[in-house]
Structure formats: structure tokens, C-alpha cells
Structure 1
Amino acid sequence: MRPHHFTGDGDPAGQEISDDPVVAELCAESFEAVGARAIPHDQYAEARLPGSGRR
């Protein structure tokens, strides 16, 4: 797998290549955990900021 790294500001900070099965499993488990907490696409609505007229 090829993990990409980012700074706290979101700028690219490098990448690496790993064939470690433990790393791959950790990433797969993390992806599944995030998916389990996500809002289903058909239930998603953008939040509107009160009084701003903006989203």
C-alpha cells in the first residue's frame, strides 16, 4: 500500500510504500470504523450556519 502523509495544514508531507500486512490490516480496520460512523449519503444534508445565509 502507499500511505500519503500530510501536515496539520493539509499540505503533502511525503509518501511511502509498505508491504507490511499488519499496516494494511490496521488501515482496513480504520477505514471500516470510519464507514460505520458515517452519515449515509441519502441522509446527508449540508449544515447551514444560523443567520449567515451560508452553508
Structure 2
Amino acid sequence: MPQTEIAMEAYNALWAAGYVPHSSYVWMIFIIIIGIIALYQARTFISKF
């Protein structure tokens, strides 16, 4: 499908021209950091009881 190829090229160009260097990896690291913070907050919330 040519439309899918065009969409993938536009998506890759968006990440290649991102404001953050290596932005294709930074979002994954960002999500992992948010998950770690959420687990820490849940653990401290439960330990108060």
C-alpha cells in the first residue's frame, strides 16, 4: 500500500527532525522513568497504611 509507505516515511522524518537528539529512543526512556516514579509513589503510598 503506497499510503502506508508515505505515512511511515513522514513518521520517520518526524523523529529524525525532532527537537531532542535521538528522539526515537528518548520517548521510551521517558516512559520507563515515569513508570519507575509511579511504582515508587505507589509503594510509599501503601507503606503509609
TM-score (norm 2): 0.39
- The structure with more strand, counted as a fraction of residues: 1
Return the structure number with greater relative CO, CA threshold 8 A, min gap 6.
1
- The structure with more radius of gyration: 2
